[in-house]
A and B are shown apart, each in its own frame.
Chain A
Amino acid sequence: MSPSESELRASLHTGEGDQVDVDAVLANARSTHRDRRRNAFAIGGAVAAVLAVGGVITGVQLGKDDHKAAGGPGSSQSPAVVLPQCPGSAPIVPQSFGAANGPLFPDDVTAIKVCLYDAERLTKSKDVEGPAAVSYAQRFNGLPVIRRAQICPQFLTSYTVAMLPVTAHGVAPTVVGKIGGCGLTSNGTGARNAGNLLGELRGGMGEPGGGSSSGGPPIVPSHTVSFGPGPS
């Protein structure tokens, strides 16, 4: 005969009544609790140590970066100006007929990359920065505005000077001039006869100076063509 459900229950209850050692349970539980807390502290300490070391390393790294950006201890220089590269071959003088009364250089120029070409070949370049660049810009801009169209015999000279002005906002339009001939120098919106200044720049680069007084390519009178009302 198979046992009934009640017999099964009675069978399962047989032998119960043994007590649990409460003190042993408590001691084991306390020990486990202590171990867990110790492990948690150990893990937390390890994490904190790793974070601290990482923070120190990061701080040192950032300090190095700041040091580099500042140009070294005690340096009062402004951040290095990244100047553009010279064009590989001599650029042509920008067309300036009709609207050539603007400045050659922007007022806020901070540096000028000066590139010297003999015929098409780049021979020398020079970086003019800071007050010297401002001074050159002012001197170029201060030259008389060309109000008449000129036909300059540029074949008399093979020297070209390209000047790449840099401002805080970027690179301004390139100013290109010819040493010799009329010394025509233009950026497309402004034009000057700047043979003497170009010769001075060239002389500052270790080349024989240009212009009428330096023995460079001759500046010859240009043919002028009137192209509208204006002072003659």
Chain B
Amino acid sequence: MRDETAFREFVQANGPALLHAARLLTGDHQRAEDLVQAALTKLYLRWGRAREPMAYTRRVLVSTHIDASRRRWRGERPTATLPEQPVPDPALPASEDRDQLRRMLRELTPLERAVVVLRYYCDLTEKDTAASLRIPVGTVKSTAARALARLRVEVMT
């Protein structure tokens, strides 16, 4: 019998971080919720067998996101004008750069975004990031360097 109490505690403790990571990956709250739902459902099915639940869920999260990004998305079409324009809060001028960074994050490739999120949000080592993405450590290093360079270039211009 699956230990649902332990699973519930795990979701309560780690759900916010997973949801935020998913939001950083997708750039969309609704898609982030769907992504977390899918990852936690896979974890539920393996609950009791996954040795490191958090690492497993993170790996599912990024791989599901990258796989979904590879598939052509036909559900939405880009429009010339945005339906909602974000209104900057004048009381928080210090957050402007951060918001711009977050916007720039969406311009990265799915792999670059995943590396940035795992390295600088989840605080994983390069080795753990490589294990989560199932890519070589060297690829993590080069991808992270490229992503940071793009972010910096975008911020400076």
Query: Using a CB–CB distance below 8 Å, which chain A residues touch chain B?
Result: 1-3, 5, 7-20, 22, 24-26, 28-30, 32-33, 36
Question: Per-position contact with A for B109-123: 1 when CB-CB < 8 Å, else 0?
Answer: 000000011001101
Query: Using a CB–CB distance below 8 Å, which chain B residues touch chain A?
Result: 4, 7-8, 11-12, 15-20, 23-24, 33, 36-37, 40-41, 44-45, 95, 97-99, 101-102, 105, 116-117, 120-121, 123, 148, 151-152, 155-156
CB-defined contacts of B97 to chain A, threshold 8 Å: 3, 7, 11
A5 near B120: Cβ-Cβ < 8 Å = yes
Quick one: which of A2, A10, A28 contacts B155, CB cutoff 8 A?
A: A2
Q: Is the interface of B mostly helix, strand, loop or mixed?
A: helix
Q: In the complex where A8-B120, A16-B16, A16-B17 touch, is A33 in contact with B151 (Cβ < 8 A)? A: no
Q: In the complex where A2-B156, A16-B20 touch, is A29 in contact with B45 (Cβ < 8 A)? A: yes
CA distance A29 to B17 in the complex (A): 19
Q: Give me 6 A-to-B residue pairs in the complex whose CB atoms sit less than 8 angstroms apart, sorted by A's number.
A: A12-B121, A14-B95, A14-B99, A15-B20, A20-B40, A26-B8
Listed from nearest, the 3 A-B pairs whose CB atoms lie closest are: A20-B15, A29-B44, A11-B98
B20 near A28: Cβ-Cβ < 8 Å = no
| Residue of A8, A26, A30, A36 with most partner-chain B CB within 10 A | A8
CB-defined contacts of A25 to chain B, threshold 8 Å: 11, 15, 36-37, 40-41, 44
Report B26 CB to chain A, min CB distance, Å.
Answer: 14
CA distance A30 to B95 in the complex (A): 41
CA distance A17 to B105 in the complex (A): 20
A20 near B19: Cβ-Cβ < 8 Å = yes
Report A75 CB to chain B, min CB distance, Å.
Answer: 60
CA distance A2 to B104 in the complex (A): 13
Report A17 CB to chain B, min CB distance, Å.
Answer: 6
Q: In the complex where A7-B97, A36-B45 touch, is A26 in contact with B4 (Cβ < 8 A)? A: yes
Report B117 CB to chain A, min CB distance, Å.
Answer: 7
Q: In the complex where A9-B121, A14-B102, A29-B45 touch, is A22 in contact with B11 (Cβ < 8 A)? A: yes
B37 near A28: Cβ-Cβ < 8 Å = yes
CB-defined contacts of A10 to chain B, threshold 8 Å: 98
Q: In the complex where A14-B102, A22-B11, A28-B41 touch, is A3 in contact with B17 (Cβ < 8 A)? A: no
CA distance A17 to B14 in the complex (A): 10
CB-defined contacts of B12 to chain A, threshold 8 Å: 19-20, 22
Other than A17-B16, A36-B45, give 7 A-B pairs with Cβ distance below 8 A: A3-B151, A11-B99, A15-B23, A20-B12, A20-B19, A30-B44, A32-B45
